[in-house]
C-alpha cells in the first residue's frame, strides 16, 4: 500500500494547479481580450486617414484574409468594469464572429465586455489596441495595412507559450507555485521515508529501486484515474456556475502545464527518496532504519530555505493585512467624495507628448479657473530640494478648491479658508506654503525648492512667484483623493494606501494660476491628482471634443470605484499570501518533524541509555537543539542584517551625491513581532516533535529490556 501522504500530495497538486490556473486566466482576461492570436498596438499617426476610413479598411482586410479583427476601447464612464470591442469578422464560422450576437465569453466576473460592429466606431482616433483572431501571420499583414494608412504599429503575441510563461513568472502566483512545489516535494520525501520498513520487505523479495518505483506508479495510476475525474468534474461544475465554462481550453492548458510540472517534481522526489532508502542494508531496513545522515542533510537543505521563504512570506502577509485594514478604513472617506472622478489619458500617443500637454493642460487650466476641479498633486518631500536632506514626508500641490473642501487647521486650531479670486489678476494672491509645526525648522529649505516643484516656468512667472509661509497643527490627516504615487526613494511601498496623508506640506496655488504649467497639470492628471467633483464637467468637455480632446482623454474614473477595486485587489493579494504562508508553515512542520524522527531513529539506543542514566532532555538531544538554535538565531537576525546592509549601501550612494536607487529600509515593531512568531512556531514544533519521539524511544527501549 502506498503511504497516504503520497496520495494526498498528488490530489493536492491537482487541486492547487486548478486554483492557480483559475487565478492566472482570470487576471489575463482582465488585462486583454482572450482568444486572440496577436495584439497590434497602433501608437502613431500622420493624420492622413480618418477613424472612419481606418474602420472601413479593417473591415475589408478582415474579409480579404478571412480573419476577425477587434478594437478594444475602455468605457468612458466605467473603464475598470466595462470595455467595448468593435469587431470586424471575415470568417462567419469563427468563434469571434459569434460574439456579435452571442456576446464575448468573459472568464472573469469583474469585467464586462460588450461587442459592437466596427462600423459603429465612428470618427474615433485610430490609435490604440487591436486584436487579431486567426492565423498569427495575419497580424503582420495588418501592420502593413496600417502602415499604408499612415499609422505606426507593432505586434506581439501575448497568448503564446513564451509570453504566458513570462507573464506567470512576473505574477504573485509564481511564488505560490514554488511554495506548493516545495511543500509537495517535502511531503513526498517524508511519506516515502516513513514507509521504510515496507520497502525493506519488498527489497528482501528481490525488488530493485526501479521495481519499487514502477510498483508505486502502478498503484498511483488507479488513484490518479479516480482523482483526476473527481477534480475535473468539480472544476467543470464550479466554472460552469462562475462563467459558463468560458475559455475552458486555455484554462485546461494552463492547469495541465502547472500540474505536469508539479507531478514531475513529485515523481523525481519519490524516486530520489527510494534511492536514499536503498543505501540502507536490508536487515537494517527491515527494522525501519533510515539513512539518517544523508536524510538529515537533505532535510536541512530544504528546511533552511523554507525558513527564509516562510519569513519573507510572513512579513508580506503582515504588510498585506495592514494594507487591507488601511484601505477598509478609507472607504467611508471615498464614499463622502460622491461621484468625483479623475481622468485617464490615452497612452497610445507616442511622439505627441507636446500636443497632449498643450490640449489637456490648457483644458485643465480653464477648468481650474472655473472652479470645476480639485488639484491634489503629490510630491515626495525629499525630492523638493537637492541641496539639503529633508525628512521623509509628502508634499501636496493643491488649489484653493482643495482647501475649501479639506479642513486644514493652523497652529491655533483655526481653519484655513480659500482665498477669493481677482478676476483680472488671478495670480495676485501669494502661493501659500503651509508647513506642519513638526517640520517648522525646515521651512526655509522647503520654500527655496518650491519653484522647482512647479517644473519649467517662464522667467517672468518665476520672478513673480511669491511664497507665503504658514503653520499647520500637527497630527492632521488630509484626504488625497487617491492612494498616492511617489518617487522610488519614498519610504512607502508602491501598493501602500496613502489616501489619508498625515502631516503633509501643502503648497496652495490660486485656481487657474500660471504657476502651474500645462505640463504640471497634465502630469498631475496622469497620476490621478486632478479630480472633477462633478463628472459631467469632464464628460461634457470630452464629448464636445474641443481641439480633439476625445483623442487625448479616453475615460473618467470614479475615485470611489478606484478605491474599491484596489481594496478588492488587496484582499485577493492577502488571501494568496496567506495561502502561501500556510503552505510554507506546512513545510516547516514536516521538515521539523523529519529532523526529530531521523535523529530519534539514528540514535535510539544512545537516547535510551542516556535517559536511564539520568541525562537531561536538553543534553540528550544537544545536537538537534544546537542546530535548531542556530536556525532560530539566523531567522531572528536575517531581516535586521539585510536592512542594515541595504541602508549601508544607501549611505554610500548618498555620500557620493548619487540619487537613492531604492528606499531606506526600516525594521518596525510589526516586523519583529512576525519574526518572533515564526521563531516560536519553529522552536515549539521541534520541541514537541522531539518530546514525542523521545518518549517513544524510551517506551520501546523499556519494553525491549
Does residue 518 lie within any of the structural domains? yes
Does residue 512 lie within any of the structural domains? yes
Query: In this structure, what C-alpha cell is assigned to residue 608?
Result: 535510551
Residue 427: which pLDDT band, with cuts at 50, 70 and 90?
very low
pLDDT tens across 337-370, in order? 889 999 999 988 888 888 899 999 999 999 999 9
474 or 662, which is more confident: 474
Query: In this structure, what C-alpha cell is assigned to residue 92?
Result: 462567419
Cα pseudo-dihedral 571, 576, 582, 587, rounded to 10: -160
Question: What pLDDT is attached to residue 347?
Answer: 86
Torsions phi, psi of 64, nearest 5?
A: -65, -40
pLDDT tens across 186-227, in order? 889 888 888 888 888 888 888 899 999 999 999 999 899 999
Number of domains in the chain: 2
Does residue 503 lie within any of the structural domains? yes
Does residue 539 lie within any of the structural domains? no
151 or 123, which is more confident: 151
Does residue 231 lie within any of the structural domains? no
DSSP class of residue 663? P
Q: How far apart are CA 606 and CA 589, in angstroms?
A: 25
Does residue 481 lie within any of the structural domains? yes
Among left, alpha and beta (phi > 0; psi -120 to 50; other), residue 134 is left
CB contact at 8 A, 354 and 382: no
> Could you tell me how many residues make up the chain?
705
Last residue of a domain, one of 140, 168, 200: 140
Does residue 107 lie within any of the structural domains? yes
Sign of the Cα pseudo-torsion (538, 104, 101, 93, in order): positive
pLDDT tens across 136-155, in order? 999 999 999 999 999 999 99
Cα pseudo-dihedral 56, 59, 63, 67, rounded to 10: 150
Question: What pLDDT is attached to residue 29?
Answer: 95
CB contact at 8 A, 513 and 351: no
Last residue of a domain, one of 140, 164, 189: 140
Question: What pLDDT is attached to residue 660?
Answer: 59
Which residues pair with residue 78 across a beta bridge? none
pLDDT tens across 633-675, in order? 988 888 888 878 877 777 776 666 665 566 666 777 878 888 8
Query: Which helix (H) or strand (E) is 350 found in, with range?
Result: none
| Closest of 228, 169, 296, 248 to residue 7, by C-alpha | 228
| Closest of 274, 162, 150 to residue 210, by C-alpha | 274
Query: In this structure, what C-alpha cell is assigned to residue 657?
Result: 551625491
- Mean pLDDT score, 37-61: 92
Does residue 584 lie within any of the structural domains? no
| Residue range(s) defining the domain that contains residue 350 | 341-533
Find the range with the poorest average confidence among 205-219, 289-303, 377-391: 289-303
Which residues pair with residue 434 across a beta bridge? 470, 506
- Mean pLDDT score, 369-386: 88
Strand 374-380 to 477-479 pairing: unpaired
Residue 426: which pLDDT band, with cuts at 50, 70 and 90?
very low
Strand 505-509 to 394-399 pairing: parallel
Q: How far apart are CA 597 and CA 594, in angstroms?
A: 5
Last residue of a domain, one of 469, 501, 533: 533
Q: How far apart are CA 60 and CA 69, in angstroms?
A: 11
Amino acid at each position: 500500500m502506498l503511504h497516504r501522504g503520497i496520495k494526498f500530495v498528488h490530489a493536492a497538486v491537482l487541486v492547487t494547479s486548478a486554483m492557480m490556473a483559475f487565478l492566472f486566466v482570470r487576471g489575463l482576461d482582465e488585462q486583454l481580450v482572450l482568444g486572440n492570436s496577436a495584439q497590434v498596438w497602433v501608437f502613431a499617426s500622420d493624420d492622413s486617414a480618418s477613424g472612419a476610413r481606418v474602420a472601413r479598411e479593417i473591415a475589408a482586410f478582415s474579409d480579404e484574409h478571412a480573419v476577425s479583427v477587434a478594437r478594444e476601447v475602455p468605457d468612458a464612464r466605467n473603464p475598470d468594469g466595462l470595455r467595448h470591442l468593435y469587431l470586424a469578422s471575415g470568417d462567419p464560422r469563427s468563434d469571434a464572429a459569434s460574439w456579435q450576437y452571442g456576446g464575448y465569453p468573459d472568464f472573469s466576473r469583474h469585467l464586462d465586455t460588450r461587442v459592437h460592429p466596427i462600423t459603429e466606431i465612428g470618427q474615433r482616433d485610430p490609435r490604440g489596441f487591436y486584436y487579431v483572431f486567426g492565423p498569427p501571420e495575419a497580424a503582420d499583414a495588418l501592420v502593413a495595412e496600417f502602415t499604408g494608412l499612415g499609422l505606426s504599429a507593432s505586434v506581439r503575441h501575448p497568448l503564446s507559450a513564451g509570453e504566458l510563461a513570462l507573464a506567470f513568472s512576473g505574477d504573485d502566483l509564481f511564488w505560490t507555485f514554488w511554495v506548493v512545489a516545495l511543500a509537495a516535494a517535502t511531503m513526498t520525501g517524508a511519506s516515502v521515508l516513513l514507509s521504510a520498513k515496507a520497502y525493506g520487505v519488498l527489497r528482501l523479495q528481490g525488488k530493485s529501486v526501479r521495481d519499487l518505483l514502477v510498483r508505486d506508479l502502478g498503484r498511483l495510476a488507479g488513484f490518479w484515474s479516480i482523482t483526476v475525474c473527481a477534480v475535473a468534474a468539480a472544476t467543470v461544475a464550479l466554472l460552469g456556475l462562475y462563467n459558463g465554462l468560458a475559455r475552458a481550453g486555455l484554462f485546461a492548458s494552463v492547469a495541465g502545464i502547472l500540474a505536469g510540472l508539479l507531478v514531475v517534481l513529485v515523481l523525481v522526489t519519490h524516486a530520489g527518496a527510494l534511492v536514499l532508502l536503498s543505501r540502507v542494508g536490508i536487515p537494517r531496513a527491515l527494522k525501519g532504519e533510515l539513512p539518517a545522515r544523508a536524510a538529515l542533510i537533505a532535510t536541512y537543505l530544504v528546511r533552511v530555505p523554507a525558513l527564509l521563504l516562510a519569513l519573507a512570506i510572513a512579513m508580506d502577509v503582515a504588510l498585506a493585512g495592514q494594507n487591507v485594514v488601511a484601505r477598509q478604513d478609507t472607504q467611508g472617506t471615498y464614499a463622502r467624495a460622491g461621484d468625483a472622478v479623475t481622468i485617464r489619458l490615452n497612452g497610445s500617443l507616442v511622439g505627441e507628448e507636446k500636443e497632449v500637454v498643450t490640449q489637456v493642460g490648457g483644458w485643465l487650466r480653464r477648468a481650474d479657473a472655473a472652479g470645476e476641479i480639485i488639484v491634489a498633486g503629490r510630491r515626495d518631500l525629499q525630492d523638493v530640494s537637492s541641496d539639503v536632506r529633508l525628512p521623509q514626508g509628502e508634499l501636496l500641490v493643491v488649489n484653493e478648491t482643495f482647501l475649501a473642501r479639506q479642513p486644514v487647521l493652523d497652529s491655533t486650531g483655526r481653519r484655513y479658508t480659500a482665498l477669493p479670486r481677482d478676476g483680472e489678476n488671478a495670480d495676485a494672491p501669494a502661493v501659500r506654503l503651509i508647513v506642519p509645526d513638526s517640520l517648522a525648522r525646515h521651512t526655509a529649505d522647503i520654500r527655496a525648492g518650491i519653484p522647482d516643484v512647479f517644473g519649467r516656468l517662464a522667467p517672468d512667472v518665476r520672478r513673480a512667484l511669491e511664497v507665503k509661509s504658514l503653520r499647520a497643527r500637527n497630527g492632521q490627516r488630509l484626504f488625497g483623493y487617491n492612494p498616492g504615487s511617489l518617487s522610488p526613494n519614498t519610504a512607502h511601498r508602491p501598493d501602500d494606501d496613502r489616501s489619508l496623508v498625515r502631516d503633509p506640506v501643502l503648497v496652495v496655488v490660486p485656481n487657474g494660476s500660471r504657476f502651474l504649467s500645462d505640463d504640471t497639470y497634465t502630469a498631475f492628471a496622469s497620476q490621478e491628482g486632478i479630480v472633477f467633483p462633478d463628472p459631467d464637467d469632464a464628460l461634457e468637455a470630452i464629448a464636445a471634443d474641443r481641439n480633439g480632446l476625445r483623442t487625448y482623454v479616453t475615460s473618467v474614473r470614479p475615485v470611489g470605484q478606484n478605491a474599491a477595486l484596489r481594496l478588492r485587489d488587496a484582499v485577493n493579494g492577502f488571501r494568496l499570501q496567506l495561502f502561501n504562508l500556510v503552505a510554507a508553515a506546512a513545510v516547516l512542520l514536516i521538515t521539523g518533524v523529519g529532523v526529530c524522527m531521523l535523529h530519534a531513529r539514528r540514535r535510539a539506543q544512545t537516547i535510551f541509555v542516556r535517559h536511564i542514566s539520568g541525562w537531561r532532555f536538553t543534553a540528550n538531544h544537544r545536537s538537534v537543539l544546537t542546530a535548531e538554535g542556530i536556525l532560530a538565531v539566523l531567522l531572528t537576525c536575517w531581516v535586521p542584517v539585510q536592512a542594515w546592509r541595504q541602508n549601508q549601501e544607501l549611505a554610500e550612494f548618498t555620500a557620493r551625491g548619487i540619487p537613492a536607487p531604492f528606499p531606506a529600509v526600516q525594521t518596525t515593531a510589526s516586523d519583529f513581532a512576525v519574526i518572533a512568531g515564526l521563531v516560536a512556531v519553529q522552536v515549539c514544533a521541534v520541541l514537541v516533535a522531539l518530546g514525542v519521539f523521545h518518549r517513544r524511544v524510551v517506551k520501546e527501549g523499556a519494553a525491549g529490556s
